[in-house]
Amino acid sequence: MKKIQATILLIIITLLTVSCQKTENIKVEEDKKPEKIVIQAPSAPPTSALVKLVEDKMLGEDVEVEFTLYSTVEEATTRIARGEADFTVLPVNVASKLYNKDADISLLNVNTWGILYLLSRNGEVKSWDDLKGKDLFVGAKGASPDVITRYLLSKNGINEEDVNINYGTSPETLQWMIAGKADIVVLPEPLVTKGLLNAEDMQISMDYSVEWEKSTGEGVKMPQAGIVVRNSFASEYPNVVEDFQNAYKKALEEIVNDPSSVSALIEEKLEIPAAVFEKSMERTNLEFMDAQDAKSHVEIYLNALNEISEDMIGGALPDEGFYYKK
C-alpha cells in the first residue's frame, strides 16, 4: 500500500514539475523582446504620435527603437520588401497593394481619417458643379488625392472631361497656389494651413471627409492612412505588438487633446513649424482604431478606389489576413 502511495505521490510531483516548467516557458515566451524595434514613417500628421512615443520611451526604458523618416512611399516599400521595418505608416491603399503582392505585412491600425481639402481663391467653388470648365490642381497623379478626387467628381455627376485636372506633387501645388498660378487646389494638411497662411485670398471650399460621407453613406469614414506590422515580427513578439498598439493609441489621444504639448518637438523632428502644426490639427482627423474595428470603413474605401483604378489597391480587395488580429 505504501509503495502505491509513493508511486502516486511521485506521479503528482512529476506532473506539477512539468506544469511549472511549461508555465515558465510560456512566461519566457511572453516576455521575449527583440534587440531593436524598427519604425518608419513619413513627415505627416500620424507620425506626430510616433515622435512622442519614441521621445517619451513609451515602449519602455530598455527598448531600443530605430526611428526613420522616409521621403517617398517607394523608399518605405523597399524596406518592407527587405524585411527591414517592423512598423510602417502607410496610406491604406498602398498597404492593400503590398499585401496583394504577398508582402509580409498586415494592417495593424488606422489613424488618419481625412486630411484632404479643396481650396479655391476667394471661395469661388461652392459646389462640384462650379468645377466645370476650371483648372483643378491635384498632387501626385494616380495617388490617393487624385483618385479620391476623381471618385468624388463621379459621385457628384461631374465627368472628368468637364474639369481640367493638372498634376504636380503636393508641395509643388502649394507653391503654385502661393505664387498665384493655381486658384483651385486639392491639398492635405498641414500643407492646407501653410497655404492659407501664405497665399492671398485662398479659402477652404470642401472638406473631403465630409464629401466622402455624403457619397458613401452616413457614418462612413475615410481611412486614408494607418500602420502596418511585419507579420514575422508580430508572430515572434505578439506582446510587443500589443504594447506598441497601446502606446501609440495613448500618444495619439494626448496629441489630439493638446497639440501644443508636442508642437515644439514636432517642429524639431518633423520640420513642421509649431504654429502650423497646432493650427493644422484643427482640420486633421486623427483617431486610433485597430484594424478589426476599422475593417468595414477600409473595405468601402478600397472598393471605391478600385472603381477608379484597380492598381490603387493591388487588383482586388484583400482577404481577412490583411487585418491584424491578436
pLDDT at 142: 86
The pLDDT tens digits of the residues spanning 115-161 come to: 999 999 999 999 999 999 999 999 888 889 999 999 999 999 999 99
Asked if residue 11 and residue 156 are part of one domain, the reply reads no
Of 69, 85, 102, the C-alpha closest to 34 is: 85
Per residue in 201-233, pLDDT (tens digit) is 999 999 999 999 999 999 999 999 999 999 999
- Domain residue limits at 9: 1-31
Where does residue 90 fall: left (phi above 0), alpha (psi -120 to 50 degrees), or beta otherwise? beta
Q: In this predicted structure, what is the pLDDT of residue 32?
A: 84
Q: What is the pLDDT of residues 241-273, one digit of tens each?
A: 999 999 999 999 999 999 999 999 999 999 999
Do 205 and 59 lie in one domain? The reply is: no
96: amino acid identity, one letter: S
Give domain status of residue 90, yes or no.
yes
Residue 312 inside a domain? The answer is yes
Residue that finishes a domain, picked among 172, 192, 216: 216
In a domain, 197, yes or no: yes
| Residue 117 · residue 206 · CB < 8 Å | yes
59: CB partners within 8 A, 6+ apart: 37, 53, 65, 240, 243, 244, 247
Q: Within this chain, do residues 243 and 95 fall inside the same structural domain, yes or no?
A: yes
Per-residue confidence (pLDDT) for residue 117, from 0 to 100: 98
Q: What is the mean pLDDT of residues 27-46?
A: 84
Assign 31 to helix, strand or coil.
Answer: coil
CATH number at residue 51: 3.40.190.10
Q: What is the pLDDT of residue 249?
A: 98
Residue 221 within any structural domain of the chain: no
Q: Are residues 122 and 100 in the same domain?
A: no
Residue with more model confidence, 20 or 47: 47
Asked whether residue 139 is assigned to any structural domain, the reply reads yes
Res 3: pLDDT? 60
The dihedral built from the CA positions of residue 233, 234, 235 and 237, taken in this order, carries a sign that is: positive
**Higher model confidence: residue 179 or residue 8?**
179
- Check whether the bond before 190 is cis (ω within 30° of 0): yes
Domain boundary among 196, 216, 236: 216
Shared domain for 142 and 169, answered yes or no, is: yes
Q: Does 199 fall in a domain?
A: yes
Show the CA angle centred on residue 135, arms to residues 131 and 140, nearest 5°: 105
Whether 167 and 231 map to the same domain: the answer is no
Are both 100 and 247 inside the same structural domain?
Answer: yes
Residue 20 pLDDT: 45
Reported confidence tier of residue 11, pLDDT bands at 50, 70, 90: low
Q: Is the dihedral of CA 41, 224, 56, 29 positive or negative?
A: negative
Query: Is 240 in the same domain as 190?
Result: no
Checking if the pLDDT of 19 tops 80, the result is: no
pLDDT band at 15 (very low <50, low <70, confident <90, very high): low
Report yes or no: 286 and 255 within 8 Å, Cβ to Cβ.
yes
pLDDT at 78 over 70: yes
Can you tell me the distance from the alpha carbon of 218 to that of 24, in angstroms, rounded to the nearest whole number? 50
Using the predicted structure, report yes or no on whether residue 14 has a pLDDT greater than 60: no
Give CA–CA dist 100/175, Å, rounded. 36
Element (H, E) at 119: strand 116-121
- Confidence at 276, pLDDT banded by 50, 70, 90: very high
- Residues 202 and 148 reside in one and the same domain: yes
Answer yes or no: is 126 within a domain: yes
The pLDDT of residue 9 is above 80 = no
- What is the three-class DSSP state of 188? strand
Out of 169, 195, 216, a domain closes at 216
> What is the rounded distance in angstroms from the CA atom of residue 235 to the CA atom of residue 244?
14
Q: For residue 21, give Cα distances in angstroms to 11, 13, 238.
A: 15, 12, 21
Sign of torsion, CA 72 73 77 80? positive
Are 157 and 200 members of one domain? yes
Domain match, 105 and 254 both = yes
122 with 145, same domain: the answer is yes
Structural domain total, the chain: 3
Say if 43 falls within a structural domain. Answer: yes
Strand partners, 227: 89, 109
